[in-house]
Structures are given as C-alpha cells and as structure tokens.
Amino acid sequence: MRRRTLSFTAWLTVIAGSIALGPSAALQQRSDSISVKGGVGDITGDYEIPDPNWPQWAHPYPKPGYIWGSQGGVFAESPDRVYLANRGELKLPDKVPNGFPGNWGFFNQMAATQPIANMVNCLVVVDRSGKLIEAWNQWDKLFEWGRGPHQVYISPYDPERYVWVVDDMRHVIYRFTHDGKQLVQTLGMLDEFGENDDLTRFRRPTMIDWLPDGTFFVADGYGNTRVVKFDKAGKALLKWGSRGTGPGQFNTPHGIAVGGSPPRVFVSDRGNRRIQVFDTNGKFLEEWPGIAPHSMLMSADEHVWAVDSLTDRIVKFDLSGHVEFSFGQFGTRPGYTWAPHQITADSDGNLYLSEVFGGRTQKYRPRPNADPTKLVWGRSLMPVANARTN
C-alpha cells in the first residue's frame, strides 16, 4: 500500500487557480480577459478559447424557447463524429436577458436539470463544425424517468464501435449499435437498484473503461461504493469496494480509467477526494490524494487526465501519480467550465468537455505551436470492422 502525496508545486498548480478566482467572482467578472500565459491561473492551457457558438446546432437554441440543460457526456469518435449526451432541454423564461449566450449556466442554476427537463435530443452526433448529423430521438424515451444520459463512450478496442451510454438514475448501462438503430444490450435492471454485493444490479453507475481484450470496469457509483469488472460479453466477474475512507473503500467512485503495463485501474473516489489505483482484480496499490475528479481519461500517451470537481482544473498525471500539467478555471464564460463532467479528445488534438452545471459542451482547439505534451490525446480507436470511413 502506498499513499502518494502531491508535490507542493503540483498541489499549488491544481489549487491556486480556484483560490485566485472563486466561483461567485468568476460568474460576476464577465469583463475579465482570459489568461493566455499557461501555468497557475491558466484557463485554457495550450488550447484556444472555445467558440461559444459550438456546436452550432444548439446555439442559440435547439428549438425556439428551449435550451440544452445539463450536459452529462461527450465522446469524440473522430473530429467529424462527436457524440453529445444531453440531460434534456429546458424552457427559457419568457424574457431572456440581453446577452444570453445560450447556456443554462448563465442563469447561475446549480441544478441544471430543474425545473423538469424535457427528455428530447438526449443523444446526438455532430460534426467538427457542430452541425447535427444524427439525433437518436428513438431512444429519448429511455431517459424519461431519469435525468438523462450520464456519459457516453466507445471502447477504443472495439472494431464494431458499439456506443455505450450510462444512465445513472435508472441504474442501467446501454450498448447501442454504432448507428444507434439498435439497442443490443442493457446491463443492470431498469429502475431497480441493488446493493454493493449484488452483481445483477447497479446503484447509479457512473463511468466505464476497457482493457484491450474487451474486459471492462464500471464505477458504481453514486449509490453503491464499488467497481464491477465484466467480461467482454457483459458477464459480471467480480467487484470490489465498500463504503468508507480506507484503502479500497469509496465514497462516490465516479470516474475510472484503465491502462499502463501491467494494466491498472484508476478510480476517482470523488467523495473522498482522491484517486485510488488497483490492479485489474481489485488489489489496492496506492492512492493519490487531493483531487476529486468527475471524470478521467487514459490518454494515448498513457497519462491519466482528471477533471477535478473541486477546482475545475484539468490535471495531467503520469501513471505514478505525478502532476505534470494542469489548466482550467471555474466560470461560465467561454473557456471556463462549471463542473466539467466528461473529457474526450479527437485525433486532431481537439479537446471536448461537457459541463453538467454550465449546461454546455465546449470544444477546445489546440493553439498554433501548442506543446503536444500539454494536449490531451485520446486513445486511437480500433479500425472499423466493415471499413466505415468516419
């Protein structure tokens, strides 16, 4: 067992930005200019300030009088095929304030799914310009009794490119065909939660990641306090974790990333403000304290990128837990984030962050001459089995 402490410099890098500009200040100081220097206080790192009108389909409105609510997830299969997971649309006030940018976060609504969201356009696919290319409205009904999709993924090792969608409030994980026409598998039991020792039911699962052989791990989640390991076919193999603060115990295991050699499972123990590291059978290896990620991503260059819920910082760790770089800042202006909930990157180096309280998904393009080590590189997806070209 090993408890790793962040270096003072690393800790300062992660924390200082949020101390420098607290949440309420960030909301109020809309006339501030965004730092472009990098380092502590850096807002967008080696990325340009995002275009506030991306994705164009949803800006200013997906339909008159309505805006997107909470944005649970985003997954970039390619620069021209980006999946967005929306937690429904919200009706705007009759009088919309001047300068309204089209994001629910503008109203300073912590709970972006209230008042009750209309579960429409919950799963959509856009291209690089944000133009709508697919709306999976045939599945909107799946989300009517919950709060919408939590996150969306494609396994990097799957030549069929099935699309996985986690629905935490309805306690299930869906697997769709790549085109969204068929729902081929549902893990868990719809609307029924199970306890920590129940391998047939989840209790508000949150996130998935895969090994190259198709074995996958589910963080479960808001209600339970465990990780469940499945085989490629979706058969539950084992689980580990219990409620608590000790090694191998969790309080809201919310994010998960798998990688390294030998492979390890990195779990965001969000409520305990740490990342815990395990082998693939759940043996505790070490913990990295001081960060409470909503989401994590195993990058192509084998680093863990973590999206911190405490500071809204995007933090790059090596697989030993050393912080190499961070950027990001709480706020609702372009480039700032409010609860970035899923992180993904495409093969062009574009970064995408979905925001559950900001109510938007932002696309960050690399700056000219960006340092490649400061960009998020998503894992390459396995070539498509039947030679699709997207």
Partner 1 sequence: MAEQGDVMKRITLLIVALTVGVSAAWAQAKPDFSGTWKLSGTTPPNYPGSAGWGVPSPTLVVKQSSAEVTIQSGQYGPTPMTVVYKLDGSDNIWEAPSATQSGTTAIVKWRTKARWDGNKLILFTWNTALNQMRDVVSVSNGALMIQRGTEQPGPSTNATLTYNR
How many Å from the N-terminal Cα to the C-terminal Cα in the chain? Answer: 44
* Residues 266/227, Cβ–Cβ less than 8 Å: no
Q: How far is the CB of 357 from partner 1 (least distance, A)?
A: 12
**Three-state secondary-structure class, residue 312:** coil
Question: What x/- string results for residues 156 through 195 when contact with partner 1 is judged by CB under 8 A?
Answer: -------------x---------------------xxx-x
Exactly one of 1, 20, 25, 116 binds partner 1 (CB under 8 A); that residue is 116
The answer to whether 71 contacts partner 1 (rule: CB under 8 A) is no
Exactly one of 144, 179, 301, 371 binds partner 1 (CB under 8 A); that residue is 144
Q: How far is the CB of 103 from partner 1 (least distance, A)?
A: 17
Short-list 153, 124, 151, CA closest to 139: 124
Instruction: Report the amino acid identity of residue 75.
Output: F
What residues contact 33, with CB distance under 8 A and at least 6 apart?
Answer: none
- Report residue 204: phi and psi, to 5°: 65, 65
Question: Using CB under 8 A, which of the segments 11-19, 111-119, 155-163, 291-299 binds partner 1?
Answer: 111-119
Question: Using CB under 8 A, which of the segments 40-48, 114-122, 127-135, 301-309 binds partner 1?
Answer: 114-122
In the complex with partner 1, the residue whose CB is nearer, 178 or 203, is 203
Short-list 143, 256, 236, 135, CA closest to 194: 236
Q: How far is the CB of 24 from partner 1 (least distance, A)?
A: 18
What residues contact 203, with CB distance under 8 A and at least 6 apart?
Answer: 171, 193, 194, 195, 196, 220, 221, 222, 223, 224
Q: How far is the CB of 347 from partner 1 (least distance, A)?
A: 34
The answer to whether 109 contacts partner 1 (rule: CB under 8 A) is yes
In the complex with partner 1, the residue whose CB is nearer, 87 or 178, is 87
Rounded distance between C-alpha atoms, residue 68 and residue 59, angstroms: 9
Exactly one of 59, 81, 204, 365 binds partner 1 (CB under 8 A); that residue is 204
The answer to whether 108 contacts partner 1 (rule: CB under 8 A) is no
Exactly one of 13, 35, 71, 113 binds partner 1 (CB under 8 A); that residue is 113
Residues 215-254 that bind partner 1 (CB under 8 A): 222-223
Q: What is the secondary structure of 117-166 as a DSSP string?
A: PB--S-EEEE-TT--EEEE-GGGGGGGTTSS---EEE--TT-TT--EEEE
The answer to whether 145 contacts partner 1 (rule: CB under 8 A) is yes
Q: How far is the CB of 147 from partner 1 (least distance, A)?
A: 5
Rounded distance between C-alpha atoms, residue 266 and residue 321, angstroms: 10
- Report residue 372: phi and psi, to 5°: -60, -25
The answer to whether 203 contacts partner 1 (rule: CB under 8 A) is yes
The answer to whether 295 contacts partner 1 (rule: CB under 8 A) is no
Question: Using CB under 8 A, which of the segments 54-62, 109-117, 127-135, 253-261 binds partner 1?
Answer: 109-117
C-alpha 358: how far from its chain's center?
Answer: 13
In the complex with partner 1, the residue whose CB is nearer, 223 or 255, is 223
How many residues of this chain bind partner 1 (CB under 8 A)? 20
The answer to whether 72 contacts partner 1 (rule: CB under 8 A) is no
- Report residue 5: phi and psi, to 5°: -105, 135
Which residues are at the interface with partner 1 (CB under 8 A)? 109-111, 113-116, 144-147, 169, 191-193, 195, 203-204, 222-223
